[in-house]
Amino acid sequence: MLYLLTTLLENSEHYLHKNIYIFLISFFSNTFSAISGGGAGLLQLPALILFGVPYFQALASHKLATVALGLGGSLRNFKSLGNDISIAKQMLIFGLPGVIFGSSIVEYISEQYLYLFLGLVSILLAFYSSLKTDLGLSSENKKLNLAGSTKFFISIFLIGILNGSISSGTGLLVTILLIKTFKMDFIRAISLTFFTVGIFWNFTGAFFLSKIGPIPPNLLIYLIIGSFTGGYFGAHLSKVHGNKLIKKTFTTVCIFVGVSLLIKSINIFIN
């Protein structure tokens, strides 16, 4: 009887520590993601996998948790969305089919090639952001012609496919696409990324990925709490400290995401 009680106490203590670790990882990764416009999967997804959650279920859990990140960031920056609702609609109309397609084919594609591609792109984004000293520091309202709109729609659809099949880096791609296409600043672009990618894209991806396997509910609540509070706190910091802090964080997160994805790709090739 004493042995049974001791075992139960040890298990409950291990369970509590595990959930605290998950919350802290979720909070800090989503705080940085809220400042940079993406990259929460750099820490959050590997942590879930290390805790024994299979890849597809971990990816679905991560995406569902980042819906809370989108809600937290959007709640803090809601006023920044007012003039960009039409762009948000375009991102949903052309991005969601890509997310659904990517989530549907994730079982049948070699993820190491996606990691390799997205890792290289993330590192290039970091160098590009560093070289373009004025990138994302001011905001305009650029109108697109037919060619520009078509290019934007195709880009959003392709990023949606990546979002549905891989976790890290797609928010960063959307953020930089919005800055380049519409001449937005970082705060405005990230607010739009939270609203569209964080909430609608990730929820859609999580829904389709959850059909592959069940999402572990014991970890999900801690992920959601950490994501929401981290998203709100990160959005608050970005509002207080402005675009220069966001630009530096964006560049740093791009490098870490890129290197992390390249390492993942190499390890899969080796093994």
User: For residue range 240-256, what is the model confidence (pLDDT) as tens digits?
Assistant: 777 777 777 777 877 87
Number of structural domains (the chain) is: 1
Span 51-73, pLDDT tens digits: 777 767 777 787 788 888 788 77
Domain of 123, in residue numbers: 2-270
Question: What pLDDT is stored for residue 149 in this prediction?
Answer: 92
The CA distance from 109 to 202, in Å, is: 19
- Average pLDDT of the chain is 77
Q: What is the pLDDT of residues 207-263, one digit of tens each?
A: 877 776 666 677 788 888 888 888 888 878 777 777 777 777 777 877 877 787 788
Q: pLDDT for 34-57, tens place per residue?
A: 777 676 776 677 777 767 777 677
Higher pLDDT, 113 or 28: 28
Specify burial of residue 122 (Cβ count, 10 A radius: 0-12, 13-18, 19+). buried
Which pLDDT tens digit goes with each residue over 160-175? 988 887 766 688 889 8
What is 106-167 written as a DSSP string?
GGGS-HHHHHHHHHHHHHHHHHHHHH-TTTTSS---PPP-HHHHHHHHHHHHHHHHHHHH--
* Residue 7 pLDDT: 38
Question: Residue 183 — φ and ψ, nearest 5°?
Answer: 60, 40
